[in-house]
Amino acid sequence: MPDRAILVTGAAGFIGLHVTQRLLAEGHRVVGIDSLNDYYDPALKHARLALLASNPRFTFVRLDLADRVATAALFARHRFPFVIHLAAQAGVRYSIDNPHAYVDANLQGFVNVLEGCRHNGCRHLVYASSSSVYGANTKVPFSVSDKTDRPISLYAASKKANELMAHSYSHLFDLPTTGLRFFTVYGPWGRPDMAYFIFTKAILAGTAIRLFNHGDMRRDFTYIDDLTQVISRLIERIPARSTEAAPAKVYNVGNHSPAQLLRLVDILEQAIGRPAIRELLPMQPGDVRETFADVDDLMRDTGFRPDTPLARGIGEFVAWYRDYYRQ
């Protein structure tokens, strides 16, 4: 791999932290950028950055990717050979009340990344998509060949738009791109707006957890170390143009093993050593009942599939949570 640094956007985020740590451990230099917004507690983002800051091969730049001029200048200065784009405005429910945040971060920010890659010799852009693009699909498991034209949240629509935007740049400018549809990624240093994080906090505090659709939900939970393994293997697996297709790929990244939400609660109770107070509620707008990843393409092309058992991954998260919050 060239000596020039790899760019990781969203480096202060949950996935960004772990991806950056893996790249540094593999001996790469990394430039990490993040806007450090207040969607959730910025102190957690600063704590993640503190883990990275001691490594001399890591450089942090505070930057909002929606800033076209600053983003263009960063790309021109570093001419990154590889870009891992993880920065985004996350959250399905938040998008219902805050649509402009998704336009700014997920659309404007993404086109600025594409332009930076296009004009500065990027060899491969790997970017985060989401299982939410499957929307109202009912056929399971979800396959990358399934139609994804029925999003049920603006967040999902923005992620599908990213896939389309990336493909257009691959087609027009021979920019190799790989999109990763993440399925409920969890683990230490996770996002406080995720269900497993919220449930852990509530169980330890003795307050009720809210189980939507009366707990009748299934999610394909993906442990963070499995995801970083996938990204590490894909960075230099650069899509090639063929006579039929642009140099663009999309993969599912999931465990291919959905778990009931009530099963997650049971595992958390066992890991924490306390019972949960359960409040059963109707389905929330924008939610889907089940996610289930078909990862045959991923396995074929990388020789790897996520397989960390949920009980083991949740145990790691709970241990981190107790240590970080001193509980």
Count of domains observed in the chain: 2
Residue 303: inside a domain, yes or no? no
Q: What is the pLDDT at residue 220? A: 95
Query: How many Å from the N-terminal Cα to the C-terminal Cα in the chain?
Result: 42
The verdict on 150 and 243 lying in the same domain is yes
User: What is the domain-level CATH number for residue 312?
Assistant: 3.90.25.10
Please answer whether residues 224 and 18 qualify as being in contact, where contact means their C-beta atoms are separated by less than 8 angstroms.
yes
Residue 115: inside a domain, yes or no? yes
pLDDT tens for the chain, 327 residues: list them.
Answer: 557 899 999 999 999 999 999 999 999 999 999 999 999 999 999 999 999 999 999 999 999 999 999 999 999 999 999 999 999 998 888 888 899 999 999 999 999 999 999 999 999 999 999 999 999 888 889 999 999 999 999 999 999 999 999 999 999 999 999 999 999 999 999 999 999 999 999 999 999 999 998 888 899 999 999 999 999 999 999 999 887 789 999 999 999 999 999 999 999 999 999 999 999 998 888 778 888 899 999 999 999 999 999 999 999 999 999 999 999
Q: What is the pLDDT at residue 28? A: 97
Q: Which residues of 143-154 are buried (b: 16+ CB within 10 A; e: fewer)?
A: bbeeebeebbbb
- Compute the C-alpha angle 82/226/215, nearest 5°: 125
Torsion of CA 151, 198, 127, 112, to 10 degrees: 80
Q: What is the pLDDT at residue 242? A: 80
Please answer whether residues 293 and 220 qualify as being in contact, where contact means their C-beta atoms are separated by less than 8 angstroms.
yes
- Residue 113 CB-half CA count within 13 A: 32
The verdict on 147 and 26 lying in the same domain is yes
Residue 292 backbone dihedrals phi, psi, to 5 degrees: -160, 115
User: What is the domain-level CATH number for residue 124?
Assistant: 3.40.50.720
Q: Considering 40, 155, 169, 223, which one is annotated as catalytic?
A: 155
Residue 212 belongs to domain spanning = 195-219+257-291+308-324
The verdict on 154 and 208 lying in the same domain is no
The verdict on 86 and 44 lying in the same domain is yes
Please answer whether residues 98 and 91 qualify as being in contact, where contact means their C-beta atoms are separated by less than 8 angstroms.
no
Residue 274: inside a domain, yes or no? yes
- DSSP 8-state assignment for residue 290: B
The verdict on 81 and 208 lying in the same domain is no
The verdict on 117 and 15 lying in the same domain is yes
In whole angstroms, what is the distance from residue 199 CA to residue 196 CA?
5
The verdict on 126 and 231 lying in the same domain is yes
Q: What is the pLDDT at residue 95? A: 86
Q: What is the pLDDT at residue 2? A: 52
Q: Which residues contact 326 (CB under 8 A, 6 or more apart)?
A: none
The verdict on 243 and 265 lying in the same domain is no
Residue 47: inside a domain, yes or no? yes
Is residue 127 among the annotated active site residues?
A: no
**Phi-psi category of 247—alpha, beta or left, where left has phi over 0 and alpha has psi -120 to 50?**
beta
The verdict on 207 and 143 lying in the same domain is no
Element (H, E) at 231: helix 224-234
The verdict on 27 and 126 lying in the same domain is yes
Residue 10: inside a domain, yes or no? yes
Residue 187: how many CB atoms within 10 A of its CB? 23
Which of 162, 312, 292, 180 is CA-nearest to residue 239?
180
Q: What is the pLDDT at residue 137? A: 87
Residue 233: inside a domain, yes or no? yes
